[in-house]
């Protein structure tokens, strides 16, 4: 007997709760706010579950909900901060993928949100560019150009910091 869409959703959220939390945290930079974003996202996902036509797309569909909910939260709070390494390492001890480089964190903070989102989803959440464009609801070509522009700006920012440190 095949599981229902509700069972699939519950299992998906249960199995991916840490990644969902870290995704939300990468936007809101606060433990309680990230938990609120995930909780709100779960409620929104549950209500919209019948709109999910392809069950194999659950990850990108739900990431889209989490990202939108986090952005809505930021708009309401009008604040965007970069996480510090110690907090993220503490929250994510069992995972290898953490924001380890402070220079990278500082450089990410200089990017506009539209470019920062592409970097976070592509490299920190390990989504394919097609999934990034789907989550952000932008054309694939736009996702590619934003990624290219963000990487170019990060390279300049990190090079400038390197010159400052060794300079």
Q: What stretches of 16-139 show up as alpha helix (H) in DSSP?
A: 17-28, 31-47, 58-77, 85-91, 102-110, 113-119, 129-136
For position 35, what pLDDT does the model report?
95
As a whole number of angstroms, the distance between CA 114 and CA 48 comes to: 25
pLDDT in tens, 66-87: 999 998 888 887 644 445 555 5
What count of residues does the chain have? 167
Average pLDDT over the chain reads 80
pLDDT greater at residue 29 or residue 103: 29
Structural domains in the chain plus CATH codes: 1-92 (1.10.1740.10), 101-167 (1.10.10.10)
For position 153, what pLDDT does the model report?
83
- pLDDT confidence band for 55 (50 / 70 / 90): confident
Lowest mean pLDDT among 60-69, 91-100, 112-121, 139-148: 91-100
For position 12, what pLDDT does the model report?
94
pTM over 0.75: no
């Amino acid at each position: 007997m095949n599981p229902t869409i509700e069972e699939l959703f519950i299992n998906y959220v249960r199995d991916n709760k840490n990644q969902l939390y870290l995704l939300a945290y990468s936007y809101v930079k606060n433990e309680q706010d990230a938990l609120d974003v995930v909780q709100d996202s779960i409620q929104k996902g549950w209500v919209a579950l019948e709109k999910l036509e392809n069950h194999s797309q659950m990850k990108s569909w739900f990431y889209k909900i989490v990202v939108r909910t986090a952005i809505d939260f930021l708009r309401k709070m009008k604040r965007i901060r970069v996480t510090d390494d110690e907090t993220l390492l503490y929250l994510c001890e069992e995972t290898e993928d953490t924001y380890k480089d402070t220079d990278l964190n500082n450089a990410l903070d200089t990017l506009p949100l539209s470019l920062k989102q592409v970097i976070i989803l592509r490299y920190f959440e390990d989504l394919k560019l097609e999934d990034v464009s789907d989550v952000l609801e932008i054309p694939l070509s736009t996702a590619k150009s934003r990624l290219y522009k963000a990487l170019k700006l990060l390279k300049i920012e990190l090079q400038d910091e390197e010159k400052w440190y060794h300079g």
